[in-house]
């Protein structure tokens, strides 16, 4: 094909018309909205995936159909670039243009423009691997996607129902197959073998972990957890809960990582199952986020979020690098966003360099690539660890001087296999946490006591136009509306240990206010007072000024 197959594209596109009056946006998490209005989007994403692969000379790109932690009736789709990372940012606009072309003719014009703009050689092959989560709307949306892939003439591989991180793994494994950088067998089985093999080596000779309770959010994580559990056998006993993947309305309902983090509470279904002190965790609907928690001896819920995971695993890696005698050559860095609890930033800054970037996995991931070992976690439980190419090489060639160095080096090498370096991965991250807890013989309470979270509060403010809010300094300061930041600063000064920032959400039509302070009542008051300032500046909530805003 050296020209676009226009008549073929037209025929398929006519079968997937764009509904009028809907404006789609490829945002942080790809396209995401009600599953019932996504047919045309999926078709067009199929075409775009084919074009992206052609642009990359036939390297395989991925497409994942999921709406993660959103309610069951939502769905969405995102593209995965050849190394398993998220779609290059400059292509997000092409996705948005394609999705919003009102007619078949307009759509064909945008396709043409993308080909010209990005200088695509249409004679190149297109290769795409795709998967979906367990949502009821998934099967039909996948068939729309397949029409798009057929229309552009892509070679395809259907990964079926799988987790987001496994799809990312597959993309990287396919593209590195048979090379020095091979990421593993390019199959789901290859993923389970790689992770379980590394886990068993890492805990060999240690006291076997007590069973862990896993809330699978009634999503695809349940299927993957069941399979990895078979590979792990008694090296990690798992008790799987919320595994009803085919029960209507169950997905993410009163369970899952987002439910736990947002409500700071236990999924009700676990209430009579969890014993005090027992470790438990929640995945989200596509198994790329992880929250840990336990009940203390008084039966109170204690949450171990992404910040606590970062503190645990980053310190462990820093120690291993030192024990292996590599601290001069291998610099470990940690990336957070402004939502990281101030106490975690303080704890970690004493141990390694900490950098703050804008919200969104792509910002964290890119910043982490600048370190020899880059650790990133969002407070919401999405994160991973990246080992640079030179680091991987150094780990495989470094000659240890002592048995202790040799042991630490081996652990680091095995960690590079255990950790899914393409994207945050609930299963891989859980195994990583379990390794660290086993090595340190930590209970949940001991882990929790690394530092004490500052009380904090997150508030949403409905405003007339959230685009009026512009930020700088990794979203920690407002530059617009003019004068508002100064008012916030004045307020914050009155609160002991106070910190607050305001930014427009990238995924919801609201402005978010975050506040923390030394004591709970003060954190709440600060959040509501800043919320009040924002409302008075730009308020647009039809229900009026929220009564808690001071």
Ligand X SMILES: CC(=O)N[C@H]1[C@@H](OP(=O)(O)O)O[C@H](CO)[C@@H](O)[C@@H]1O
Contact 358, 89 (CB under 8 A): no
Query: Is 14 labeled as ligand-binding?
Result: no
**In angstroms, rounded to a whole number, what is the distance separating the alpha carbons of residues 71 and 250?**
9
Least separation in angstroms between CB 138 and Mg ion: 15
147 or 284: whose CB is closer to Mg ion? 284
Least separation in angstroms between CB 506 and ligand X: 3
Please report the DSSP string for 163-203 in residue order: -HHHHHHHHHHHHHTTSTT--S-SSHHHHHHHHHHHHHHHH
Residue 359 interacts, among ligand X, Mg ion, none and using kind-specific CB cut-offs from 5 to 8 Å, with ligand X
Least separation in angstroms between CB 363 and Mg ion: 17
**In angstroms, rounded to a whole number, what is the distance separating the alpha carbons of residues 320 and 404?**
10
**In angstroms, rounded to a whole number, what is the distance separating the alpha carbons of residues 482 and 488?**
12
Least separation in angstroms between CB 458 and ligand X: 6
**In angstroms, rounded to a whole number, what is the distance separating the alpha carbons of residues 28 and 361?**
8
Query: Is 288 labeled as ligand-binding?
Result: yes
Using CA atoms, how far residue 505 sits from 380, 453, 463, 485, 543, in Å, is: 15, 24, 11, 17, 20
Residue 333 interacts, among ligand X, Mg ion, none and using kind-specific CB cut-offs from 5 to 8 Å, with none
Query: Is 286 labeled as ligand-binding?
Result: yes
**In angstroms, rounded to a whole number, what is the distance separating the alpha carbons of residues 186 and 190?**
6
Query: Is 416 labeled as ligand-binding?
Result: no
Residue 288 interacts, among ligand X, Mg ion, none and using kind-specific CB cut-offs from 5 to 8 Å, with Mg ion
Least separation in angstroms between CB 224 and Mg ion: 13
Residue 505 interacts, among Mg ion, ligand X, none and using kind-specific CB cut-offs from 5 to 8 Å, with ligand X
Residue number closest to Mg ion, CB atom = 68
Residue 329 interacts, among Mg ion, ligand X, none and using kind-specific CB cut-offs from 5 to 8 Å, with none
Nearest CA to 145 out of 4, 46, 31 is that of 46
Residue 286 interacts, among ligand X, Mg ion, none and using kind-specific CB cut-offs from 5 to 8 Å, with Mg ion
The binding site for Mg ion (CB under 5 A) comprises 68, 284, 286, 288
Contact 108, 10 (CB under 8 A): yes
SS3 category, 432: helix
Residue 396 interacts, among Mg ion, ligand X, none and using kind-specific CB cut-offs from 5 to 8 Å, with none
**In angstroms, rounded to a whole number, what is the distance separating the alpha carbons of residues 547 and 362?**
36
Q: Which residues does 340 contact at the CB level (< 8 Å), separation at least 6?
A: 307, 310, 356, 379
Contact 244, 221 (CB under 8 A): no
359 or 422: whose CB is closer to ligand X? 359
Least separation in angstroms between CB 535 and Mg ion: 30
72 or 305: whose CB is closer to ligand X? 305
Largest Cα–Cα distance in the chain?
70
Least separation in angstroms between CB 292 and Mg ion: 16
The binding site for ligand X (CB under 6 A) comprises 28-29, 339, 359-361, 378, 380, 505-508, 512
378 or 525: whose CB is closer to ligand X? 378
Query: Is 425 labeled as ligand-binding?
Result: no
Query: Is 504 labeled as ligand-binding?
Result: yes
**In angstroms, rounded to a whole number, what is the distance separating the alpha carbons of residues 48 and 33?**
19
190 or 506: whose CB is closer to ligand X? 506
Contact 263, 293 (CB under 8 A): no
29 or 154: whose CB is closer to ligand X? 29
| DSSP strand pairing (74-80 vs 155-161) | unpaired
**In angstroms, rounded to a whole number, what is the distance separating the alpha carbons of residues 19 and 102?**
8
Q: Which residues does 456 contact at the CB level (< 8 Å), separation at least 6?
A: 341, 514, 515, 516, 523, 527
- Provide the token pair at 442: 């930590």
Residues belonging to the active site:
68
Query: Is 465 labeled as ligand-binding?
Result: no
Query: Is 44 labeled as ligand-binding?
Result: no
28 or 302: whose CB is closer to ligand X? 28
**In angstroms, rounded to a whole number, what is the distance separating the alpha carbons of residues 310 and 339?**
13
- Provide the token pair at 368: 């982490």
Query: Is 68 labeled as ligand-binding?
Result: yes
Binding residues for substrate: 378-380, 503-507, 512
Binding residues: 68, 284, 286, 288, 378-380, 503-507, 512
Binding residues for Mg(2+): 68, 284, 286, 288
């Amino acid at each position: 094909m050296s020209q676009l197959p226009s008549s073929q594209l037209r025929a398929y596109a006519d079968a997937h018309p764009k509904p009028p009056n809907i404006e789609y946006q490829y945002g942080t998490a790809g396209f995401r909205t009600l599953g019932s209005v996504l047919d045309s989007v999926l078709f067009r994403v199929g075409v775009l995936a084919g074009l992206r692969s052609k642009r990359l000379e036939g390297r395989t790109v991925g497409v994942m159909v999921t709406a993660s932690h959103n309610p069951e009736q939502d769905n969405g789709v995102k593209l995965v670039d050849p190394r398993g990372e998220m779609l290059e940012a400059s292509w997000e606009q092409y996705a948005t243009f394609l999705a919003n072309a009102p007619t078949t003719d307009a759509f064909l014009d945008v396709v043409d423009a993308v080909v010209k703009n990005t200088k695509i050689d249409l004679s190149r092959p297109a290769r795409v691997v795709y998967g979906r989560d367990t949502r009821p709307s998934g099967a039909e949306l996948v068939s729309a996607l397949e029409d798009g892939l057929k229309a552009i003439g892509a070679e395809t591989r259907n990964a079926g129902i799988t987790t987001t991180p496994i799809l990312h793994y597959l993309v990287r494994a396919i593209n590195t197959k048979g090379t020095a950088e091979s990421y593993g067998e390019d199959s789901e089985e290859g993923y389970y073998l790689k992770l379980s093999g590394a886990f068993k080596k890492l805990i060999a000779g240690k006291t076997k972990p007590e069973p862990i309770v896993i809330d699978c959010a009634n999503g695809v994580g349940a299927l993957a957890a069941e399979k990895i559990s078979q590979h792990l056998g008694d090296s990690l006993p798992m008790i799987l809960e919320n595994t009803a993947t085919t029960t209507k309305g169950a997905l993410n309902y009163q369970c899952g990582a987002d439910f736990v983090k947002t409500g700071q509470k236990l999924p009700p279904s676990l209430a009579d199952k969890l014993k005090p002190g027992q470790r438990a965790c929640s995945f989200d609907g596509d198994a790329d986020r992880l929250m840990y928690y336990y009940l203390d001896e008084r039966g109170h819920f204690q949450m171990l979020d992404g910040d606590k995971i970062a503190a645990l695993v980053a310190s462990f890696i820093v120690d291993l690098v030192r024990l292996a005698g590599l601290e001069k050559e291998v610099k470990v860095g940690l990336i957070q966003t402004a939502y990281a609890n101030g106490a975690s930033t303080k704890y970690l800054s004493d141990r390694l360099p900490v950098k703050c970037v804008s919200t969104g996995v792509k910002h964290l991931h890119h910043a982490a690539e600048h370190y020899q070992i880059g650790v990133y976690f969002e407070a919401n439980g999405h994160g991973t660890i990246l080992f640079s190419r030179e680091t991987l090489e150094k780990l495989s060639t470094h000659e240890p001087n002592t048995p202790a160095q040799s042991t630490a080096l081996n652990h680091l090498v095995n960690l590079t296999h255990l950790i899914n370096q393409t994207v945050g991965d609930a299963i891989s991250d859980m195994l990583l946490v379990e390794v660290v807890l086993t090595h340190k013989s930590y209970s949940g309470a001991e882990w929790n006591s690394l530092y004490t979270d500052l009380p904090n509060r997150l508030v949403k403010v409905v405003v007339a136009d959230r685009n009026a809010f512009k930020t700088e300094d990794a979203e920690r300061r407002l530059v617009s509306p003019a004068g508002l930041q100064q008012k916030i600063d004045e307020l914050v000064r009155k609160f002991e240990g106070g910190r607050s920032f305001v930014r427009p959400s990238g995924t919801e039509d609201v402005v978010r206010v975050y506040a923390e302070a030394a004591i709970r009542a003060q954190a709440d008051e600060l959040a509501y007072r800043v919320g009040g300032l924002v409302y008075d500046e730009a308020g647009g909530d039809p229900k009026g000024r929220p009564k808690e805003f001071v």
